[in-house]
C-alpha cells in the first residue's frame, strides 16, 4: 500500500490512463476538453510573469495543457477536476519564485503515475531537468514492500534521498503535502488522522529543517486540526476568548515598544503576533501546563535595517522592560542549522506578563520565512545566502552518508529522525570552531561531528579543560577536547547514549565491518577443518570449483560464503562436501591439524567464550555454531552442550593453542574468617600470583564467616590452580572453589 501523496480519484480506470497517454501523444498541444479552473491558471500566470522570461512562461503554459489532458476525466474526492491539484501545487512554489523547470515539474508531478506517461516523453518535450524532477517526485510513491510499516519507511527513505540529490524535489513534495492538508476535509476521519500524523512526524519537521518556517507553522496547524479535532476546537475557543481580554494589553505593549525605539532613533517595524495553536498545544503538552498557565501566547517582532541596529534595539527594550535571566538567545552570532537568525529575549511586561520579542534584519526575516527557498526567492536582491546553502548542502549530503552506513531502511529513518528535531546546543573546539549538536549530545557525538576517524579513535574527553566521562551531556558554550588513541576501536556501549544519527550509524557500521572480517576469518578456519576431515587440502579447491559452487548457490563471492559459515548461517561440512564433489582427493594432513580447530582466545566477536561455563585454557572444550552468533566455546560438561544433543551437526572439535594471546576471566568463592585485614591479605596473595582482580563482592554469613566473590584474570587452568593452592594455605581461608556461571554470587557451587 502506497502512502497517500494526493487524494484518490472517484474514477481512474487503467483504460482511461492509456487513452489519455495516446491522446497526448497524438495531440500534444490541444487544450483539455474537461472543465479547467481558468482562474487558477490566470493567478499562476500573474505570479510567474513577475520573474520568468516569456519563453519560460510559454513552456509552463504548455505543461499546464499537457497535465490537463493527462488528467482528463479524473476528479478529486471533493469533486473538483483533478487538474486543480497540480495547479495549486505550482501556485505554492511560484510564491517561492522557483525556476521554470520546478514549476513544470509541479504541474506534471502526477502524470507518470496517473497517465502512464514515461520519463523520456517528458524529457523530449520539456527538457531533461524537468523530467528528472518529475521522476524524483513520482518515485516517492512507488512502494515495493509488503507491510504498511515497511512501505512507509521505504517511502520516507526515497523521499529523503531524492531531496539530497535535488532539494527542489522536496520543495515540490512539501507543496503537494500542503495542498492536500488544506483539502483534507473530504477524507474519512481515520484517514485524516493518519495523514495528519504523517505530516506532524515527517513533513513538518523537514520543512522546519529546511528553514521554511511559514510552511512549517501551517503544516503544524493543519496537522493538529485533523489529528486531534476536539483538542483543536477547545484550544481555538480558549484563544478566541483570551484574545479579547488581552487586546488592550497587546496594544499598550506595541505602543511602548515603538515609543522607546523612536526615542533611541532606531527606525524599525514592530508587530505583534498571536502564537499558533500548534505552538501553544506543544508547550502545554511538553511542560504539562493548562491553557491559563501559558501566558506568552503573544509574541512581538522588531525588524530593522542592519545587524548593529538589532543589538541597539535589544538594549533599548531591556531598558524599557526587565529581561528574564537565562531567556536571551543570540541566533545572529550563532545561526541555527537551518539558517535562522534573530535575537530572542523574554521581558516582563505590564501586569507581570512575560512577552517574547524577536529582533532581526529584513534579510533575516526573508530567510526565516522561506529558508532554503530564499535561494530562488530573493536572489535578485543581492543578499548573501551562501552560508544557508552550505549548511543545507552539508545536511543533505549527510543523508546520503547515513544511507550508505545504515543497515536497513528502518535504521536509516531512526538516524534521520534524530536530526529532524534539532533542539540544539552549541559547543566549541579548542581552536574556537563552533559545532551545533542536538540537545543531550555527548562528547562522542562531538567527536564524530568533527570527523569519523576522530570518533572511532575517541577514548576520553576534556570539557572546559576538565576530564569528564564520555557520556556527559554537553551544554551551550562548552569547550570540548577529544583525546584519541592510535588505533580505532569505538565502544558498542556508546550506542546507549549517543544522540546524533551520524555517530550511531558510524559506530554500528564499524562493528559490522569488524564482525564481517572476524566471521570471514573464522569461516575460513572452519571450512579448512571440514575439508581436512574429508581428506582434502584447501589448495586442492581450484578457482573454477569455487566459481561453480558460488554460481550454484547464488552467492556474490567467496568472502560472503566464509562470512556465512563464521556466523553459523551455513554449515562448513556441507560447503566442504559440495566443493569436493569434483575435486581429486589429496593426501591427509597431520593428525593435529585434521582433528581440532585451535582457539587463540583473541578472535573477537566471531568466537565467544560462553558465559554459562566460562572456559579457560586447560578446560576440555567443544564449539557450538549458533546462527548469527558465530562459534560459542563451552566446556565439555556444560549443561548447554547436553541440551544441544540433537544438534550434533553444529558441534565443532576445538582445542586451545599452546600459548593463548589473552587472559581469561574466572570466578571464585572464598569462605573467609571474619577478621580485620583478611580481604587485604587475600588480594595481596592474588597479586603475588600474577593475577588481576576484575571484580569483588561480599555476602555476610551467619556466624564468624564471610563469603567473598572474586572475578580474576588468569592465563590458563594451571595458573588458576596455583592461585587456589596459595589461597588455601592462608589461615583465614576456610574453603575456596571455582564458580561456573553468569553470576559471581551464585549459591550453587561446582568443584574444580
Q: In residues, how long is the chain?
A: 752
Q: What is the CATH number of domain 230-381?
A: 3.30.460.10
Dihedral (CA of 724, 728, 731, 734) sign: positive
pLDDT tier at 275, thresholds 50, 70, 90: confident
pLDDT per residue over 542-582, tens digit each? 777 787 777 777 777 787 888 777 777 777 777 777 777 65
Give pLDDT, residue 603.
55
Secondary structure element (H or E) that encloses residue 192, with its range: helix 189-198
Element holding 135 (H helix, E strand): helix 128-139
Burial class of 276 by CB neighbour count within 10 A (0 to 12, 13 to 18, 19+): middle
Domain with CATH 3.30.70.260 in the chain: 664-739
CA 644 to chain centre: 39
CATH 1.10.3210.10 residue spans of the chain: 14-226
**212-255 confidence digits (pLDDT tens):** 888 888 999 999 999 889 998 988 888 777 766 666 777 888 89
For residues 663 and 22, the model is more confident at: 663
- Higher-pLDDT residue of 420 and 378 is 420
- State pTM to two decimals: 0.57
Single out the residue of 142, 99, 129 nearest to residue 5, CA to CA: 142
Report pLDDT digits (tens) over 420-470: 555 677 788 888 887 878 888 899 999 998 999 999 999 999 999 899 999
For a pLDDT cut of 90, what percent of the chain falls above it? 15
Cell numbers placing 305: 535595517
pLDDT reading at 167 higher than 90: no
pLDDT of amino acid 14: 38
CATH match of 664-739 with 3.40.50.300 = no
At 305 the pLDDT is 92
Average pLDDT of the residues of the chain: 77
Q: Is the per-residue pLDDT at 123 higher than 90?
A: no
What DSSP line would sit under 20-72, residue for residue? Answer: HHHHHHH-TTPPPSS---HHHHHHHHHHHTTTS-HHHHHHHHHHHHHHHHHTT
Q: Quick check: 594 pLDDT over 90?
A: no
Rounded distance, CA 633 to CA 629, Å?
A: 11
- pLDDT, position 222: 92
| Residue-level pLDDT at 470 | 92
Q: Label residue 417 by pLDDT band (50, 70, 90).
A: low
d(CA 607, CA 566): 9
Neighbours of 399 (CB within 10 A): 20
Q: Which three cell numbers stand for residue 29?
A: 498541444
Alpha helices in 321-438 (DSSP H): 362-370, 374-377, 386-405, 409-419
Return the pLDDT at 155.
60
In the predicted model, is pLDDT for residue 7 greater than 60?
no
Other C-beta atoms lying within 10 Å of the C-beta of residue 687: 11
6 within 8 A of 179, measured Cβ to Cβ:
no
Taking 50 as the threshold, does the pLDDT of residue 337 lie above it?
A: yes
Other residues' Cβ atoms within 10 Å of the Cβ of residue 308: 10
- pLDDT-derived band at 411 (thresholds 50, 70, 90) equals low
CB neighbours of residue 600 within 10 Å: 12
Q: Can you give the pLDDT at residue 366?
A: 79
- Report whether pLDDT(9) > 60: no
Whether 397 shows a pLDDT value over 70: the answer reads: no
For cell 552468533, what's the residue?
A: 629
pLDDT exceeds 90 at position 532: no
**Class of the CATH-defined domain 14-226:** mainly alpha
pLDDT given for residue 361 in this prediction: 92
Q: Cβ–Cβ contacts within 10 Å for residue 411, how many?
A: 17
SS3 178: helix
Rounded average pLDDT over 667-687? 88
The pLDDT of residue 386 is above 80: no
| Cell numbers that stand for 379 in this block | 536572489
Give dist(CA 496, CA 511) in Å, integer.
15
Q: Is the pLDDT of residue 129 over 70?
A: yes
Q: Where in the chain is the domain with CATH 3.30.460.10?
A: 230-381
Q: By percentage, how much of the chain surpasses pLDDT 70?
A: 75
Neighbours of 44 (CB within 10 A): 22
pLDDT given at position 272: 83
b/e 85-94 (16+ beta carbons within 10 angstroms → b): bbbbbbbbbb
Whether the per-residue pLDDT at 591 is higher than 60: the answer is: no
pLDDT surpasses 80 at 389:
no
DSSP annotation of 324 reads P
Check residue 443 and give its pLDDT: 94
- In tens, the pLDDT along 62-79 reads 999 988 888 888 888 888
- pLDDT band for position 121 (cuts 50, 70, 90): confident
Task: Count Cβ atoms below 10 Å from residue 106 Cβ, excluding itself.
Answer: 33
Q: At what angle do helices 213-227 and 167-182 cross, to 10 degrees?
A: 40
Q: At what angle do helices 100-108 and 167-182 cross, to 10 degrees?
A: 50
The residues annotated as belonging to the active site are 113-114
Amino acid at each position: 500500500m502506497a502512502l497517500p501523496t494526493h487524494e484518490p480519484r472517484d474514477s481512474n480506470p487503467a483504460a482511461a490512463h492509456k487513452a489519455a497517454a495516446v491522446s497526448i501523444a497524438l495531440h500534444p498541444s490541444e487544450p483539455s476538453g474537461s472543465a479547467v479552473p481558468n482562474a487558477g491558471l490566470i493567478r499562476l500566470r500573474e505570479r510567474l510573469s513577475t520573474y520568468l522570461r516569456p519563453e519560460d512562461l510559454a513552456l509552463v503554459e504548455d505543461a499546464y495543457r499537457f497535465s490537463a489532458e493527462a488528467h482528463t476525466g479524473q476528479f478529486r474526492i471533493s469533486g473538483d477536476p483533478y487538474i486543480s491539484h497540480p495547479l495549486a501545487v505550482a501556485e505554492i512554489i511560484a510564491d517561492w519564485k522557483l525556476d521554470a523547470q520546478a514549476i513544470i515539474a509541479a504541474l506534471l508531478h502526477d502524470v507518470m503515475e496517473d497517465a502512464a506517461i514515461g520519463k523520456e516523453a517528458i524529457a523530449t518535450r520539456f527538457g531533461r531537468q524537468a523530467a528528472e524532477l518529475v521522476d524524483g517526485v513520482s518515485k516517492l510513491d512507488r512502494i515495493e514492500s509488503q507491510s504498511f510499516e515497511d512501505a512507509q519507511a521505504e517511502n520516507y527513505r526515497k523521499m529523503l534521498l531524492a531531496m539530497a540529490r535535488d532539494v527542489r524535489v522536496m520543495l515540490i513534495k512539501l507543496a503537494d503535502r500542503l495542498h492536500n492538508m488544506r483539502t483534507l476535509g473530504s477524507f474519512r476521519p481515520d484517514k485524516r488522522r493518519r495523514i495528519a500524523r504523517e505530516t506532524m512526524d515527517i513533513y513538518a519537521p523537514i520543512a522546519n529543517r529546511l528553514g521554511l518556517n511559514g510552511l512549517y507553522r501551517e503544516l503544524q496547524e493543519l496537522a493538529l486540526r485533523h489529528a486531534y479535532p476536539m483538542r483543536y476546537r477547545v484550544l481555538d475557543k480558549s484563544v478566541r476568548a483570551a484574545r479579547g481580554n488581552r487586546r488592550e494589553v497587546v496594544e499598550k505593549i506595541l505602543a511602548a515598544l515603538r515609543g522607546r525605539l523612536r526615542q533611541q532613533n532606531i527606525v524599525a517595524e514592530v508587530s505583534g503576533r498571536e502564537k499558533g495553536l500548534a505552538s501553544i498545544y506543544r508547550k502545554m503538552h511538553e511542560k504539562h501546563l493548562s491553557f491559563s498557565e501559558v501566558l506568552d501566547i503573544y509574541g512581538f517582532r522588531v525588524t530593522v535595517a542592519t545587524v548593529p541596529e538589532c543589538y541597539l534595539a535589544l538594549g533599548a527594550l531591556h531598558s524599557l522592560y526587565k529581561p528574564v535571566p537565562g531567556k536571551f538567545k543570540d541566533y545572529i552570532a550563532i545561526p541555527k542549522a537551518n539558517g535562522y537568525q534573530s535575537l530572542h529575549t523574554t521581558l516582563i511586561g505590564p501586569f507581570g506578563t512575560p512577552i517574547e520579542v524577536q529582533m532581526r534584519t529584513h534579510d533575516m526575516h526573508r530567510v526565516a520565512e522561506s529558508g532554503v527557498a530564499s535561494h530562488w526567492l530573493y536572489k535578485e536582491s543581492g543578499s548573501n545566502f551562501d552560508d544557508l546553502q552550505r549548511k543545507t548542502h552539508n545536511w543533505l549530503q549527510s543523508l546520503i552518508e547515513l544511507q550508505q552506513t545504515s543497515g536497513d531502511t528502518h535504521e536509516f529513518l531512526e538516524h534521520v529522525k534524530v536530526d529532524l528535531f534539532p533542539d540544539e546546543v552549541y559547543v566549541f573546539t579548542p581552536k574556537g570552531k563552533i559545532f551545533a549538536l542536538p540537545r543531550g549530545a555527548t562528547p562522542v557525538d562531538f567527536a564524530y561531528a568533527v570527523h569519523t576517524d576522530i570518533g572511532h579513535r575517541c577514548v576520553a574527553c576534556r570539557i572546559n579543560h576538565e576530564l569528564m566521562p564520555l557520556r556527559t551531556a554537553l551544554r551551550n558554550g562548552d569547550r570540548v577536547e577529544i583525546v584519541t588513541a592510535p588505533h580505532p576501536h569505538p565502544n558498542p556501549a556508546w550506542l546507549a547514549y549517543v544522540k546524533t544519527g551520524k555517530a550511531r550509524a558510524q559506530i554500528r557500521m564499524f562493528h559490522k565491518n569488524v564482525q564481517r572480517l572476524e566471521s570471514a576469518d573464522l569461516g575460513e578456519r572452519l571450512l579448512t577443518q571440514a575439508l581436512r576431515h574429508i581428506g582434502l587440502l584447501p589448495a586442492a579447491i581450484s578457482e573454477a570449483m569455487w566459481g561453480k559452487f558460488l554460481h550454484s548457490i547464488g552467492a556474490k563471492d567467496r568472502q560472503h560464503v566464509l562470512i556465512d559459515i563464521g556466523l553459523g548461517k551455513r554449515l562448513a561440512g556441507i560447503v566442504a562436501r559440495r566443493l569436493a564433489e569434483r575435486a581429486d582427493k589429496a593426501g591427509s594432513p597431520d593428525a593435529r591439524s585434521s582433528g581440532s580447530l585451535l582457539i587463540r582466545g583473541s578472535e573477537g566477536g566471531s568466537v565467544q567464550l560462553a558465559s554459562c561455563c566460562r572456559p579457560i585454557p586447560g578446560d576440555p572444550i567443544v564449539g557450538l555454531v549458533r546462527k548469527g552468533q558465530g562459534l560459542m566455546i563451552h566446556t565439555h560438561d556444560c549443561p548447554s552442550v547436553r541440551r544441544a544433543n540433537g544438534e550434533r551437526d553444529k558441534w565443532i572439535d576445538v582445542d586451545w593453542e599452546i600459548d593463548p594471546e589473552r587472559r581469561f576471566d574466572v570466578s571464585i568463592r572464598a569462605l573467609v574468617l571474619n577478621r580485620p585485614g583478611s580481604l587485604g591479605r587475600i588480594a595481596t596473595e592474588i597479586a603475588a600470583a600474577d593475577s588481576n582482580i576484575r571484580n569483588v563482592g561480599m555476602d555476610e554469613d551467619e556466624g564468624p564467616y564471610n563469603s567473598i566473590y572474586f572475578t580474576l584474570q588468569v592465563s590458563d587452568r594451571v595458573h588458576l590452580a596455583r592461585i587456589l593452592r596459595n589461597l588455601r594455605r592462608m589461615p583465614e581461608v576456610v574453603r575456596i572453589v571455582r564458580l561456573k556461571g553468569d553470576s559471581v554470587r551464585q549459591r550453587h557451587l561446582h568443584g574444580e
